[in-house]
Each structure stands twice: as structure tokens, then as C-alpha cells.
Amino acid sequence: MIFSSYAFLLVFFPLVYLLFLVLRAWRLERAALAMLVVASLVFYGMWSWKYLGLLLGLIVINFVLGKQQVRHRAQAKVWLIVAVVFNLSVLAYFKYAGFFLGFLPESATWHIILPLGISFFTFQKIAWHVDLYQRRLPDTGTVLQYSFFVCFFPQLIAGPIVHARTLFPQISAGWFNRPLTWQLGLCLLTLGLMKKVLLADPLAPGVAMLFDSAQAGHALSAPEVLLAGLSYGLQLYFDFSGYADMAIGLGLMFGIKLPANFRSPYKSASIVEFWRRWHITLSGFLRDYLYIPLGGNRHGRLRANGNLLITMLLGGLWHGAGWQFILWGGVHGALLVINHYWRHLSRWRLPRLIAVPLTLLVVMLAWIPFRADSLTTSLHMFQGLTDWRLGGAFDLSQLLTEVATMQVVKTLPWVCAALLVLVLVTPGSRRLSLKLGATGRGVLVAVGLFMVLKALAGAPDRAFLYFNF
């Protein structure tokens, strides 16, 4: 069950929200919190009841470890190390065991299914332990509050990464005294659904065609490679930012403010600016819990650049167990180092009219290893950048047998061009929602939901791309 499905939109969410409103009307805050925890566990269990036990076990173990930190302050650092090592070990087993065993001679092939959302809620739990150790959190909270923090269904699977120090005050006494911004939340939910169903999902066949062609060994020309990077970059943005809009919108409808995860990243004029606008909560986590503990920029520029490269390499590895993700992280790390050196050595800045397209080009090319199935495929695609035959990008349809998919590939360049203009000229979802006003939001919700529900009729469920991470 995903947000963009009939099961969620017409059954699960209406029932949960109706029950929440009833409990809110009766002022039963603890009951509402418990209900949302149970609903979130059901939501997760719809994906895999097998891994629901894992999620529950991790909640219990981490809560106990957190209690030990608070009760035994003299040994708090020891308990913190135990907690961090434990959580990273669980993540490593499910996500990286097969990758590292591949280096052993005649190693057996592991077929471990990655538990949904484990990368995200692992980072949330680690941040909770560190905040307890640094006393940014006075206490662990109740087991009910902690369970809600870990498994609140809007952000459970793919973020935004939430900090307990910002969430706990929202669900403490007085939660029901704050007005629900349900209209803004519903508008954001609708915008997210439109991004996912009407924009991201239709791009998927064309994107898959380009990358599958490269994976099969076909030589791509430079226009094809550029189209592959651009089309996937747009698909990923609409898919992931659409999920973030839905999560934030759903949170607002329950009286919970989740952090922003995107601020029009493709309008960035530099790589540094891009990472301040893209996947903001992950960038913040890597900065606060990895880059700064490594030393940050406190020990000179050379050490700072090394710390930045390590952070981005590990950030790439967080996304997946493969050399292509390490390449992606390394490319962004190197670009950030170059960007910082440029700012340090020269006061001259490129005009924004040039800097934005240049940054966009680099980011889109960097998406190629992120989407490719292997490092070999990534390098094979980059080799195509030396071939500037015109017509190649539109001849891929010869490889196909289905007329519908041919049309997708033929029109893909024009669709991407139109969507890129849309991304560059329109404000972010929250700004747009606020600009529309109450009447405009009502019209958008009515028209948008109609279009989404119509598009979903007979269409297969397409999981969000970041569910793979």
C-alpha cells in the first residue's frame, strides 16, 4: 500500500483520519497517539508482516538503550557507542552484507530483502541516541512517544528524517489545543499526488528504456546520455519531492509539522546551494552527525575537504550497496570541494543565468550512476558523451516492439523540456499552496484529486523510487 493507491486514499487514510478526529473531539490525546502508532504499524505490515517484527524489536531495543543512557550518565558514552554500533550493524547486515561478501572468493550469493525504510529510521534512531547523549533531549520520552517518533506512517518509509527534539514537543500536552491546518495539508497531499501520478510515473517507461538499452550493451550517443540524465533527474525529483509533499501534508492534517525536504533544488546556482535545497534532512544529518564529528572545517581547509569527501562517499553508500553509488557520492564530494575552493580563491561569481544551467547539467549527469544498475553501465553511458550524432536519442524506438512505448521515447525530449521549464518557473509546493489562498486550494484539491484518481484507474502501483534505499 502506497500513498498513491486506491487502498490508501479511499480506505486506510479516511478511516484513520476519521478515528483521529473523533478522538480529538473527545480530547483523548494519548488514545489518539496510540491509535496512530497502531495504524502506522498496520501500514508498515501491509508491505511485510515479517519485517514488522523487526521494526517492533528495534523500537524496544533502542528505547531500552536510550533509557540506559539517561539512567547511567557516567557510562552514557558507552551506551551511545553500543546503540550506534547495534543500529549500524543491523543496517549493514540487510543492506551491505551481500555487497561485501562479493569480494570473497566463491562467496555464496545472498538474497536478503531490504526492509522498507530501514535506512531512514536507522538514521532517526541514531540521531535520537546522539541527542540524548548531548542532552539536546532531556529524556527519552514515553515508550508511546518514542514509538510514534520512529513509525509515524507519513514519514516512516522515506522521510523526511525527523528529530525527536522537534517532534516530542508537538505531541506533548496541548497537542489538541493547536488548530489543524488540514486545508493546507490536503493541498500539499494533492500536489504531491499530482507530482507522483501525473508527472513522475509517466516518465518511468522512457527512463527505463534508455537505461535498459545501456545495460544491454547498446552504445548511446551524447544526446541519449543527456536525455537519460535529464529524464531520470526529473522523474526522481517529482517522485521524491512528491512523497515529501504528501508526508508533510499528511502530518499537518494530524497537527504534526514535519521538516521541509526540498526547496526547488534545480534552481540552484552551485553544487553547494543544491545540497542546501535537495534532501535537506539527509544533508543536515550528514553534516551534524558525520561531517562535524569528523572535525568539520575546524582543522584547516585540507582536512575540511577530506572530511567533506568522506561524508559524501558515505552518503552515496547510504543510498545503496554498489560502486555506482560510491561514484555518485564521490562526484558530488569532489564538486563540493571545487565549489568551496572557487569561492575561497575568487570573488568573481558566474551570473545566475549561466550558473543555474551549468549546475543543472552537472547534477543531471551525476544522476546517471545513481540510476544505473552498475558501475560498468555508468561508465559505458559516460563514454557516449564523445558521440554527438544527432538523431540517436530518437532512434531508440527501433529497439522496441510496443507502439505505446515507442511514442513515449519519441516524445520524451519534448516532455522533459516542458517539465524542466515548469520546475524552473514555478514556486515550491508550500509557497504555491499559500499563494493560492483558501479558494484556490479548494479548486486545486478538487481538480487534482479527480485527475489523480482517474489516472490511477487500471494503472499498476508504482512504488516510490526512494523505497529502494
Closest CA to 165 of 189, 191, 136, 190: 136
Q: List C-alpha distances in Å: 40 to 45, 66, 402.
A: 8, 22, 40
d(CA 243, CA 342): 35
d(CA 184, CA 441): 8
Residue 86, burial from CB neighbour count under 10 angstroms (0-12, 13-18, 19+): middle
Closest CA to 431 of 256, 166, 187, 193: 187
A 10 A CB-CB count for 356 gives 18
Residue type, 188: L
- What is 324-387 written as a DSSP string? HHHHHHHHHHHHHHHHHHHHHH------HHHHHHHHHHHHHHHHHHHHSSSHHHHHHHHHGGG-
- What is the dihedral sign for C-alpha 196, 199, 200, 204? positive
Give the HSE-up count for residue 400: Cα atoms under 13 Å, Cβ half-sphere.
Answer: 19
Which distant-in-sequence residues (6+ apart) come within 8 Å of 23 by Cβ? 31, 32, 35
Q: Residue 157: helix, strand or coil by DSSP?
A: coil
Cα separation of the two ends of the chain: 17
Catalytic-residue membership of 319: yes
d(CA 437, CA 273): 29
Residue 181, burial from CB neighbour count under 10 angstroms (0-12, 13-18, 19+): middle
d(CA 121, CA 286): 14
Show the DSSP H helices in 72-116 as ranges: 76-101
- Pick the catalytic residue from 163, 319, 332, 380: 319
Closest CA to 196 of 438, 434, 410, 9: 9
Residues annotated as part of the active site: 319
